Amino acid sequence: MLSDKISDCINHPVSLALLSALLLAVAMPFHFGYWPLLAVAITPLLHLTACHTPGKALLGGFLAGVIHYIILLYWVVIAMGHYGGLPWWISVPALLILSCYMALYTALFCYLLCVIKKRSTTCSEASISFLWSAPFLWIALDYLRGKLLTGLPWMDLGYGLFEHPLLIQAADLGGHHLITFIIIVINLLIHQLIWTNKEPSAPRCPNKLLITTSFFCFLIFIGGYSQLRYNSITKLNQDALHIHSAVIQGNISQDEKWTPQKKESTVSTYRDLTHQALEDGNTELVIWPETAIPFFPQIDPLFYEIKRLAKTSNIDLLAGAPFFTKNTETTPPSYQYFNSALLINSEGNITEHYNKQHLVPFGEYVPLRRFFPFLEPLVENVGDFQPGTSLSPLSSKVCKLGVLVCFESIFPDLARKMTQNGADLLVNLTNDAWYGISSAPYHTLAMAVFRAVENRRSLVRAANTGISCLIEPTGNIQGQTQLFQPAIVSITAPLLTEKSFFTRAGFLFGPLCLFIAGIRLLLLFKKKEEST
């Protein structure tokens, strides 16, 4: 009797949901980062969908998702409350609303997978439907979450492996979605070993052996490919042309960053650190973080000091700054403001600039402003920006720079399109001071690692308060800085030119999974209608 009660407790939907949430919390980077748990973190949810009704699967998936995303996104309260100036009674509910929205995708996964299995008419069909549908359905929903409502693909499961390059080399085939797909497959196999024979009316059919064997062969192929690809890219890195650059991490406090009285000291900080970085005599490119220049360069005389620095040092300087354009055809003239990256050449001229395209909602602009007037403090200090449109790389005298500003590094398409357009070095300018000392800077680093591996490009991160570093095309991290410390990172980055399969076609893996999952659901519901 006691064993039955324990079993009932373990198999309860709430217990399974809490177990998955706990495993995910321990597996993801920063607080614990025990990544092997990713191999089993979803198995409780799989068991939930296999053994309970669709309604219970929906609620269990939602509960697991809410807890998971509250733990994953708690830094939202820091960004909105401490640095954004909003009271706790706005920032805390904002975190809860965002977590509930993100959890809808987990809930939908559990519900649809449960429906797929319950509506199967034979044991063979049930096994095939459950095993084959799960990874495609999970990736389909991840893909949608990255697109809908401007998209927030924050820390999909595959990103949890960022510190282990040998495990993520297949990202150059299908992007980070393929790595997540592999994790779901492993969870399925472990679920079969642990729970499949304990399910009520567990179907026993020969197709299970065929399916699991296929999954094992798939994993063996991916493992062999990853090893071979890692070795080949390592050799290409050694033989490639290299660029010598320096990243300047100024560590300017967010509380003082936009204070007019502090802009001179900010420029002095970056100028002095740049002089130190140039002492080796080999530096060809200096990189400053997002909005390292805390004023509009077109109208502020202090920008002359920065132009003189580039000219006297004979370097190219890439620096983040607010930028504006003026339309004189309207009366009165109208202005557009951008969060930009400026390329200043060795003559001290701005030769090119990139305007950030994927702006942070409620951080760099307020959607539906008239409905959210109380969120104005979030943007009043840095301006209400417009999105840019160009995906052309910036041409320095040594390479072509594909620039990603701030959290643009979490969107695979931007880095891919810039690589397609000729970028041979990716650069992520960011200001992670908004996150404070939290998990978010480690998460943004993790996602940036995949942009390098997917496109087989070196990626340089220049962060105001860290983490700054070089990410090699293999995913290895070099020169990683500490948070909230001024630092100089001297970088020798290999410049690869070949376009990966992901850059050319592999980015379609996410839409392909969405198509397969959609067809599977359409056929299922069509069959249900015909039977009724």
Q: Which two tokens stand for residue 348?
A: 């001290």
Say if residue 292 is in the same domain as residue 178. Answer: no
Report the alpha-carbon distance of residue 302 to residue 268 in Å, rounded. Answer: 10
Say if residue 331 is in the same domain as residue 251. Answer: yes
Q: Of the residues 117, 257, 356, 400, which is catalytic? A: 356
Q: Of the residues 290, 352, 364, 454, which is catalytic? A: 290
For residue 131, the model assigns a pLDDT of 82
Domain count along the chain: 2
Q: Of the residues 406, 454, 469, 513, which is catalytic? A: 406
Say if residue 226 is in the same domain as residue 282. Answer: no
Q: Is residue 4 part of a domain?
A: no
For residue 206, the model assigns a pLDDT of 57
Domain that holds residue 334: 242-365+373-499
Q: Is residue 192 part of a domain?
A: yes
How many residues in the chain?
A: 532
Say if residue 58 is in the same domain as residue 204. Answer: yes
Alpha-carbon torsion angle 358, 364, 365, 367, nearest 10: 60
For residue 398, the model assigns a pLDDT of 87
Say if residue 172 is in the same domain as residue 269. Answer: no
- Domain with residue 464: its CATH number is 3.60.110.10
Contacts of 25 (CB under 8 A, 6+ apart): 31, 32, 67, 68, 71, 72
Say if residue 380 is in the same domain as residue 261. Answer: yes
Look up 329 and say whether it is catalytic.
no
Say if residue 210 is in the same domain as residue 336. Answer: no
Look up 528 and say whether it is catalytic.
no
For residue 102, the model assigns a pLDDT of 97
Q: Is residue 509 part of a domain?
A: no
Q: What is the pairing mode between strands 458-463 and 285-287?
A: unpaired
Q: Strand 316-327: give its sheet, edge to edge.
A: 350-355, 334-344, 316-327, 285-287, 241-249, 487-495
For residue 2, the model assigns a pLDDT of 46
Say if residue 258 is in the same domain as residue 157. Answer: no
Q: What is the pairing mode between strands 241-249 and 487-495?
A: antiparallel
Look up 529 and say whether it is catalytic.
no
Q: Is residue 122 part of a domain?
A: yes
Say if residue 523 is in the same domain as residue 446. Answer: no
Report the alpha-carbon distance of residue 532 to residue 513 in Å, rounded. Answer: 29
Q: Is residue 378 part of a domain?
A: yes
Q: Is residue 508 part of a domain?
A: no
Q: What pTM was computed for the model?
A: 0.93
Give the DSSP letter string of 473-504: TTS-EESPPPTTS-EEEEEEEEE--PPPHHHH
Report the alpha-carbon distance of residue 89 to residue 94 in Å, rounded. Answer: 9
In degrees, to the nearest 5, what angle opens at C-alpha 159 toward C-alphas 130 and 22? 65
Alpha-carbon torsion angle 378, 383, 386, 388, nearest 10: -100
For residue 41, the model assigns a pLDDT of 96
Q: Which two tokens stand for residue 503?
A: 């850059």
Say if residue 76 is in the same domain as residue 142. Answer: yes
Q: Is residue 6 part of a domain?
A: no
For residue 495, the model assigns a pLDDT of 97
Say if residue 96 is in the same domain as residue 193. Answer: yes
Q: How far is CA 285 from CA 170, 291, 317, 395, in A?
A: 31, 18, 6, 12
Say if residue 356 is in the same domain as residue 490. Answer: yes
> pLDDT of the chain along its 532 residues, tens only?
545 555 666 678 899 999 999 999 999 988 788 999 999 999 999 999 988 899 999 999 999 999 999 999 999 999 888 777 788 888 999 999 999 999 999 999 999 999 988 776 556 566 677 888 999 999 999 999 999 988 999 999 999 999 999 999 999 999 999 999 999 999 999 998 886 655 444 445 556 677 788 889 999 999 999 999 999 999 999 999 999 999 999 999 887 777 888 899 999 999 999 999 999 888 999 999 999 999 999 999 999 999 999 999 999 999 999 999 887 677 777 788 999 999 999 999 999 999 999 888 766 666 555 545 555 555 444 457 889 988 999 999 889 999 999 999 999 999 999 999 999 999 999 999 889 899 999 999 999 999 999 999 999 999 999 899 999 999 999 999 999 999 999 999 999 999 999 999 999 999 999 999 999 888 877 766 666 5
Report the alpha-carbon distance of residue 64 to residue 17 in Å, rounded. Answer: 5
Q: Is residue 506 part of a domain?
A: no
